[in-house]
Amino acid sequence: MTNKTIVTRFAPSPTGFMHIGNLRTALYAYLLSKSQGGKFLLRIEDTDQVRLVEGATDVIIKTLEMTGMDYDEGPIVGGDHGPYIQSERLPIYKEYAQKLVESGHAYYCFCTSERLESLKDENGIGGYDNHCRDLSKEEIEENLAKGIPYVIRQKMPLSGATSYVDHVYGEVSIDNAELRDQIMIKADGYPTYNFCHVVDDYLMGVTHVVRGNEYLTSTPKYCLLYDAFGWERPEYVHLPLLMGKDAEGNISKLSKRHGAVSFQDLVDKGYLPEAIINYIALLGWSPKETNEEFFSLDDLKKVFSMEGLSKSPAVFDYEKLRWFNSEYIKKMSDEDYEEKAMPILAELCPDYVNTKKLGALLHTRIAAFSDIRDQIGFVIERLPMKDDLYTNKKNKTTPEICKVILEETLPVLEEIDNWCNDVLFEKLKAFAENTERKAGAVMWAIRVAVARQGITPGGATELMEVFGKCESIARIKLAIEEL
């Protein structure tokens, strides 16, 4: 690695939501520079006007903000190399394309779209035949004077090979004869990605280009542009695809059919940005000197290095993300946890429910905030009772025994004013002792009667505190009637 300051960039096209794969690219670009005290830039690549989606740039900016990936230069924050939105840089690309025309590395092409169409085979595939590559100066001037529309094409070498060494994939080499004279500036004056990102990376001082491996084999063309300008090439770090696994176990590029694939969808499902970042950091990278799995963004900045990047495609595993998320939720302070959980509980629960207590019971029992809804169905409504729930071997309970327990505890419960877990527990324990019953049996009967389901977050007295006196007693009475 060189000694100069590392500058990386995230250069998304604002064509929709923030795909998890893009977020991972941003993260690695961010970490590569931040692990070395470098700079991280955000550049919006919006020159493909057809694919633009309104609001997509805001989503990108908001996502970086929510994940804590601050960029040193970019839209909104500005910087010395702006503007950072490509559609605001059109004159720059024209100027640089012109330079290459003048130096003989690019040329005007006046071919009509009909002519280019005619070069295609029956499958619609066809290259360019370099028709305008060697037009005379006079022909060019005549065409320009006539106002014939033109594009500017990059003049590729016709022989030899171009290669570079990628940090992840090693040497990549391509025969120049395979390279087409690609378009740099389109007829409408807009540049192509292939051209303008190179100009921008150079002008913005980018030292390391971190991006998806779909650009691995087109990078020789970009290297030729650097060479044509006489600029030092950046270093390249191409990342393997992020894959998803479907129900049949087939693996393919992570897409919607695998589940939520955008950052916002995951957040909406109740995943925490910190957990998402932690998990995706490990999808294609592993720390060298530790087996630790938990990393905050700050931790990652300390331990990240390119050597830990892998070229084998990583598979996004929703279960693993859930596990990370549950661990992050457990570690949340009560305050932070309540800030997220309470609005959900308040919306779903009837008024009499002690949502604070219910929230506390769920704190260690959910893997995502969306689980809350699934876990509290029994609180929201009185579920149909199944009598066999009363049967428990360990406590030696049966529906009949439970009925007696419920009938006998009812007056004890009705007398309690200070309706809270501790008091309820003490009274029921005393009741069990006085009636020579196992406390477990008493608790079992009551828990089933109030919850009306087998597995519950919390025991009998905790649930009674959640329900409050009125609803608890009502549920016990109902249970006695049904038995």
Catalytic residues: 256
Residue 393's CB is within 10 A of a number of other CB atoms, namely 6
Check if the beta carbon of residue 370 is closer than 8 Å to that of residue 270: yes
Cβ-based neighbours of 406, under 8 Å, separated by 6 or more: 445, 446, 449, 476, 479, 480, 483
Give the CA count within 13 Å in the CB-facing half-sphere of 144.
12
Tell me which amino acid residue 69 is: M
Q: Which is nearer to ligand GLU, 12 or 457 (CB)?
A: 12
Provide the minimum distance between the beta carbon of 45 and ligand GLU in the complex, in angstroms, as a whole number.
4
The angle at the Cα of 174, spanning 100 to 51, to the nearest 5 degrees, equals: 65
Question: How many binding residues for ligand GLU (CB under 6 A)?
Answer: 7
Report in angstroms how near the CB of residue 170 gets to ligand GLU at its nearest.
Answer: 19
Long-range contacts formed by 380-387: CB under 8 A, 24+ apart: 380/348, 380/349, 380/350, 382/452, 382/475, 382/478, 383/452, 383/453, 384/452, 385/452, 385/479, 385/482, 387/482, 387/483
Helix (H, G, I), strand (E, B) or coil at 36: coil
Task: Give me the least distance between CB of 204 and ligand GLU, in Å please.
Answer: 12
Q: Cα 179 from chain centroid? A: 35
Interacting residues with ligand GLU between 2 and 21 (CB under 6 A): 11-13
Residues 343-382 that bind ligand GLU (CB under 6 A): none
What is the C-alpha separation between 96 and 405, in angstroms, rounded? Answer: 87
CB of 25 to ligand GLU, least distance (A): 7
Cα(111)–Cα(433) distance, integer angstroms:
97
Angle at 172 between CA 181 and CA 217, to 5 degrees: 45
Site for ligand GLU (CB under 6 A): which residue of 24, 197, 208, 437?
197
Give the residue, chosen from 211, 238, 437, 475, that forms a contact with ligand GLU under the rule CB under 6 A: 211
Least distance to ligand GLU from the beta carbon of 20, Å?
A: 14
Q: Residue 79 CB, nearest distance to ligand GLU (Å)?
A: 18
Give me the DSSP letters along 410-433: HHHHHT--S-SHHHHHHHHHHHHH
Give me the least distance between CB of 116 and ligand GLU, in Å please.
Answer: 24
The tokens for 399 are 């529906």
Quote the CA–CA distance of 84 and 75 in Å, as a whole number. 6
Distance CA 329, CA 368 (A): 8
Cβ proximity to ligand GLU: between 22 and 456 the closer is 22
Site string for ligand GLU, 149-188 (x = CB under 6 A): ----------------------------------------
Per-residue contact flags (x/-) with ligand GLU for residues 29 to 48, judged by CB under 6 A:
----------------x---
Distance of CA 48 to the CA centre of its chain: 24
Closer residue to ligand GLU in complex, CB, 74/457: 74
**Angle between the 273-281 and 20-34 helix axes, to the nearest 10 degrees?**
80
Nearest-CB residue for ligand GLU: 211
Shortest Cβ 337–ligand GLU spacing (Å): 36
Question: Which C-beta is closer to ligand GLU: that of 12 or that of 244?
Answer: 12
Which strands form 151-154's sheet, in the order they lie side by side? 106-109, 151-154, 183-185
* 387 sits near ligand GLU (criterion: CB under 6 A): no
The smaller minimum CB distance to ligand GLU, of residues 22 and 392, is found at 22
**Of residues 190 and 215, the one with the C-beta less far from ligand GLU:** 215
For residue 102, the surrounding DSSP H or E stretch is helix 90-102
Tokens of 50: 């057809």
Contacting positions for ligand GLU (CB under 6 A): 11-13, 45, 197, 211, 215
